[in-house]
Chain A
Amino acid sequence: MTALLEIRDLHASVGETPILKGINLTINAGEVHAIMGPNGSGKSTMSYVLAGRDGYEVTGGDILMNGESMLEMEPDERARAGMFLAFQYPVELPGVGGMSFLRAAVNARRVEAGEEEIDQLGFVKIVREKARLLGISDEMLKRAVNVGFSGGEKKRYEILQMALLEPRMAVLDETDSGLDVDALRIVSEGVNLLRDPGRAMLVITHYQRLLNHIVPDYVHILAGGRVRKTGGKELALEVEESGYAGIDDAA
Chain B
Amino acid sequence: MAATTETIEQVKQATGKYKYGFVTDIETDKAPKGLNEDIIRFISAKKDEPEWMLDWRLKAFRRWQTMSSPDWAKLDIPPIDYQDSYYYSAPKSAEKLKSLDEVDPELLATYEKLGIPLNEQKMLANVAVDAVFDSVSVATTFREELSKAGVIFCPISEAIRDYPELVRRYLGSVVPVGDNYFAALNSAVFTDGSFVYIPKGVRCPMELSTYFRINEQNTGQFERTLIIAEDESYVSYLEGCTAPQRDENQLHAAVVELVALKDAEIKYSTVQNWYPGDENGKGGIYNFVTKRGVCRGDRSKISWTQVETGSAITWKYPSCVLRGKDSVGEFYSVALTNNMQQADTGTKMIHIGEGSRSTIISKGISAGRSQNCYRGLVHMQPTAEDARNFTQCDSLLIGDKCGAHTVPYIVSRNPSAKIEHEATTSRISEDQLFYCLQRGIGEEDAVSLIVNGFCKEVMKELPMEFAVEAQKLIGISLEGSVG
A interface residues, Cβ below 8 angstroms from B = 51, 53-55, 74-76, 79-80, 84-85, 87, 90-97, 100-101, 104-105, 108-109, 112, 144, 161, 165
B interface residues, Cβ below 8 angstroms from A = 429-432, 434-443, 445-446, 449-450, 452-457
Smallest CB separation, B440 vs chain A (Å): 4
Smallest CB separation, A107 vs chain B (Å): 9
Smallest CB separation, A156 vs chain B (Å): 16
Q: In the complex, A95 Cα to B474 Cα: how many Å?
A: 15
* A108 & B440 in contact (Cβ 8 Å cutoff): yes
Smallest CB separation, B398 vs chain A (Å): 15
* B442 & A108 in contact (Cβ 8 Å cutoff): yes
* B435 & A79 in contact (Cβ 8 Å cutoff): no
Q: In the complex, A161 Cα to B440 Cα: how many Å?
A: 11
A93 with B453, Cβ < 8 A, contacts A54-B434, A75-B434 known: yes
Give 9 A-B contacts (CB < 8 Å), ordered by A residue: A76-B442, A91-B429, A92-B432, A93-B436, A95-B456, A101-B436, A108-B439, A108-B441, A165-B440
* B449 & A96 in contact (Cβ 8 Å cutoff): yes
Prevailing SS type, chain B contact patch: helix
Q: In the complex, A87 Cα to B431 Cα: how many Å?
A: 11
Q: In the complex, A179 Cα to B456 Cα: how many Å?
A: 31
Known interface pairs A74-B443, A92-B432, A108-B442; 14 further A-B residue pairs with C-beta atoms within 8 A, sorted by A's residue number: A51-B438, A54-B430, A54-B434, A75-B437, A76-B443, A91-B435, A93-B450, A95-B453, A95-B457, A96-B452, A96-B456, A105-B441, A108-B441, A165-B440
Contacts of B441 in A (CB 8 A): 76, 104-105, 108
Contacts of A85 in B (CB 8 A): 438
Contacts of A96 in B (CB 8 A): 449-450, 452-453, 456
* A94 & B454 in contact (Cβ 8 Å cutoff): yes
Q: In the complex, A91 Cα to B429 Cα: how many Å?
A: 10
* A76 & B453 in contact (Cβ 8 Å cutoff): no
Smallest CB separation, B370 vs chain A (Å): 22
A87 with B453, Cβ < 8 A, contacts A76-B441, A80-B440, A105-B441 known: no
Contacts of B438 in A (CB 8 A): 51, 75-76, 79, 84-85, 87
A108 with B445, Cβ < 8 A, contacts A51-B438, A75-B437, A161-B439 known: yes
Q: In the complex, A27 Cα to B453 Cα: how many Å?
A: 38
